[in-house]
Amino acid sequence: MKFKGQASVARPQSESAKESVFVVWGVPPGSLVQVVDFPTADALLSWMQGSGLLEISDTISTSADVGHRSDIARGDVAFEAEGLPDAFVPAASPPESELDGEVPSEPTQSAPPPPQADDEPSAETSMRPAPTEPPSDALAHVSGEMPATTQKGGITVVEARLSRTELTPAPGRASATAAIQVDRDGPVWVSIAARGYRLVEGVPRVQQLSMSAGSAIDTDSTIDTVRFPMEAVDPGTAEVTLVFRQRDEFPLATLRLVSLITQHEAQDERVRAQAAAVKPEAALRELPTLRIDETVADGRSYLDVGVQVGSSHVEGRVRTVDKAGLIANVYGRIAALRAERHRFPEGEDAETKRMRALIALRAIGVDLSLRLFTPEVRQFLWDRVDELDELVIQTTGEFDIPWEIVYVSDPTRSVADEPEVFVDHFLGMRGATRWVYNTALPREVVVRRGRAKYLCPDYKGPGLALSFTREEAALIKSRLHARVVRPGTAAAMSKLMASGFDLLHFAGHGVWSDAPPDQRLLLARYRRDHPTAPDTSYAASILRQDLPDALASPRPSAPRMVFLNACDVGRIDTSVVGLGGFPEAFLRGGVGVLIGCSWAVDDEIAGAFSRHFYEALESSDIGTAMKTARSQALVDDDLSALAYVAYAHPHARVTIT
């Protein structure tokens, strides 16, 4: 079948300036599908043919009488294409306002329109109303597929499909499938996020699939397909996450595809198709959620942000140019604030000191919200700040940013006009928990006698001694019937990962190294004058070997929990493709609950936090226990309450047998 399209050529008055070709595909003519900006018509042809998406049957030629105006002059270019991809077949024409770069505040569709191209620096926000009619649910199948290897600089195409019948992936490709329940009368939106790949300019990050009557799926055997052409940027292990959504922010399915980007044409035959599909629990849809989808390529980060509270929803896309600089600034300010606490006037009472520190921390949290959220998202959060309890922060894998200290404030006024700090306006104080797509999210962790382990190193090196870890060890031993890891060495830790555990608690020092990027837990034999001595620390890079990614080595296992009560081990470094810290390694390895600490905390406060957490956990779930421990820590201290993060189902419970 042949499809007709239209192209418009825009030429500025200056002869030295380049022409700009805007290509609009439509079926029938006049029905807009998408617009792609190319510098010349030749560049358009090169991209079409080089991507392998379609074959040109007739030569494209520009109109001879295109006007030359000082702003933009448009002339139509007719062409016919054989085998136009399904990704370019429209289900409905978007509003006229999108053609001018504007996004309507209240679209008529039940899901958000596709976001702008990667290189457009503006932010966008849209509101999505709740469905007005009961959904007509039907069984459907989704799949994601892409080549297992791509050479750096090459174009690879990621395909997402929706079908009424089971889908069979092609052999030898990275692929995943999942069965889902969908509203047959509403569109299914699929979004893409990646590490190592960059979406080809002009291709929407969100595209639409449909099962409604009269759509591309009219029979059980028809498959609706969209394609995402992507450029391979960073050599090494790379991954793509496809997220299928419909009525709310919680996905119907997430498909994670891991592939290899090679420096040269020769492909590594050891690479195999790898994928996983995990559907969320329906009960999670009742909770408020902050969704962060991130694409990282060539050191650049793009964040797609969505917030949903009840039936209300808002989203905004923000381009983060220098995320590394942002993170360094935040943790530098936190470190300076901690140091300043010891220089407060001696005559100040404890409450005055506490409030002074909280005001400074609030300033950091407000700055983060200004950098990460559009004004509409900030207003949305402010209007619903009292409804954010049990907030779920769901993400494709962005955890550099300390979301727990983001502060919700009135966007119409300066916080300088608000002398009081409302501690429950920090996201962490609402009982926030985090969820990484395609990782375990158990509702219960059963800790059997003898299967709880702990390691609280007794440091002998100068400047390393911790006064309260012995009390913490006694607490873990008595409450969890835990056994100490003997000997407390890196080799013993590796052996523990191989033999398995139900719960692991570590209380000690942790460090983050930049070259090469890695995290380490410091063990009892560690000495600062010999930091690289063998068996004195346990690195996240070793953990990834001891506890392989469940995607690459699928294996059934009982839900497990890890508590790392150590500095700087609650976050991961997503700036390096395929390389993260302890949270990523544990979560990808199958651990279902992980508690960590994002920055340095005092020894006494760390011990108190774990005590309050485990005491609350005896009669409540993870989310409530975290909120209780954070609240108590805020009474005892001024910062450590928000240093702790929880990767867990908010309603997960821990049962000791």
pLDDT tens string 488-525: 999 999 999 999 999 999 999 988 776 677 889 999 99
Euclidean distance between CA atoms 210 and 631, whole angstroms: 46
Given this model, what pLDDT does residue 404 score?
A: 94
Residue 131, C-beta contacts closer than 8 angstroms, at least 6 positions apart: 110, 183, 186, 247
Contact 36, 119 (CB under 8 A): no
> In which band, very low, low, confident or very high, does the pLDDT at 184 lie, cut at 50, 70 and 90?
confident
Confidence of residue 56 (pLDDT cuts 50, 70, 90): very low
pLDDT tens for 118-145 read: 333 334 444 444 444 555 678 899 999 9
- pLDDT tens digits for range 412-457: 988 877 778 899 999 999 999 999 988 888 999 999 989 999 999 9
Quick one: what percent of the chain has pLDDT higher than 70?
Answer: 70
Q: Going by DSSP bridges, is the β-strand pair 452-455/483-484 parallel, antiparallel, or unpaired? A: parallel
Q: Which of 70-84, 154-168, 344-358, 625-639 has the highest mean pLDDT?
A: 154-168
Write out the H or E segment, with its range, that includes residue 191: strand 188-195
Average pLDDT, the chain: 76
**Alpha-carbon span 520 to 537, nearest angstrom:** 6
Mean pLDDT value across residues 67-71: 27
Do you find a cis peptide bond into 28, omega within 30 degrees of 0?
Answer: yes
User: DSSP character for 427?
Assistant: G
Q: Please say if the pLDDT value at position 599 is more than 90.
A: no
pLDDT in tens, 210-230: 876 444 444 555 789 999 999
Give CA–CA dist 50/155, Å, rounded: 8
Q: Flag the least confident range among 92-101, 269-278, 312-321, 627-636.
A: 92-101
Q: Which two tokens stand for residue 639?
A: 């910062």
| Position 73 pLDDT exceeds 80 | no
pLDDT of residue 75: 34
Residue 439 pLDDT: 86
Strands 236-245 and 253-262, how do they pair? Answer: antiparallel
**Strand runs (DSSP E) across 392-469, as ranges?**
392-395, 433-436, 444-447, 452-455
